[in-house]
Amino acid sequence: MAKYTRIEVVQQMYTTGIVPVFYHSDIEVCKALLKACYDAGVRVFEFTNRGDYAHEVFASLNKYLQENLPGMILGIGSVIDAGTASLYLQLGANFIVAPIVNAETAKVCNRRKVAWMPGCGSVTEISYAEELGAEVVKIFPATQVGGPEFIKAVKGPLPWSSIMPTGGVEPTEQSLTDWFTAGSHCVGLGSQVFVKSADGGYDYAAITGKLADALGIVQKIRGTV
């Protein structure tokens, strides 16, 4: 069962500004990376449903989080159907992210008052997703859809839309400035921020540092520091 309401999730996504997006089959790697993000100040994290037995990794990760990382909100991404959404809701997912708009998935999430964030690529899809109850819509792949200029254009006729770009966002001052000044609610960050060391493993200290810098940039852009 979700621990956080859809409104709490949406508000925390805005407050933090950055949502790391990650998948790995090794639960110990996931725990260490989640802790690195938490230490940087991240409070919303999207684990993606990308591999076999991903739900088992998610379940273990959520239990670890509840015992060790107070205030961290964990959700699941890459969910394309209602059955998969139901599975993860039973495992305590606090939000569901999808690359597509699927009405049946929306219904499943709405019945449990859990945030559903579908992927959209047009004004029509964004409006339809909001009609289905989406508080935040994801544009993906964000750069290919149209980049920051797409968000700026959408916010003209749909100023109430809360948009999260994922895919092509970089943890740099220029990139983050472009996306947030265009009107992004928050951004999803993936491989660009997950630094690896010379041996091929993740450099958790470097990840914490890179994310902390990016969060600082977002606060600066928004004038909250």
pLDDT tops 60 at residue 163: yes
Whether residue 32 is contained in a domain is answered as yes
Whether residue 1 is contained in a domain is answered as no
Whether residue 55 is contained in a domain is answered as yes
Q: State mean pLDDT over 43-60.
A: 97
In the block, which residue shows the tokens 């991240």? 42
Domain tally, the chain:
1
User: Which residue segment(s) compose the domain that 91 sits in?
Assistant: 6-216
Whether residue 12 is contained in a domain is answered as yes
Rounded CA separation 117/140 (Å): 11
Whether residue 38 is contained in a domain is answered as yes
User: Helices (H), strands (E): how many in the chain?
Assistant: 10, 9
pLDDT tops 80 at residue 5: yes
Whether residue 119 is contained in a domain is answered as yes
Strands 163-165 and 44-48: unpaired
- Residue among 169, 4, 165 at smallest CA distance from 74: 4
pTM: 0.96
* 92-126 per-position pLDDT tens digit: 999 999 999 999 999 999 999 999 999 999 999 99
Whether residue 152 is contained in a domain is answered as yes
- Residue among 133, 138, 167, 124 at smallest CA distance from 75: 138
Is residue 225 very low, low, confident or very high in pLDDT (cuts 50, 70, 90)?
low
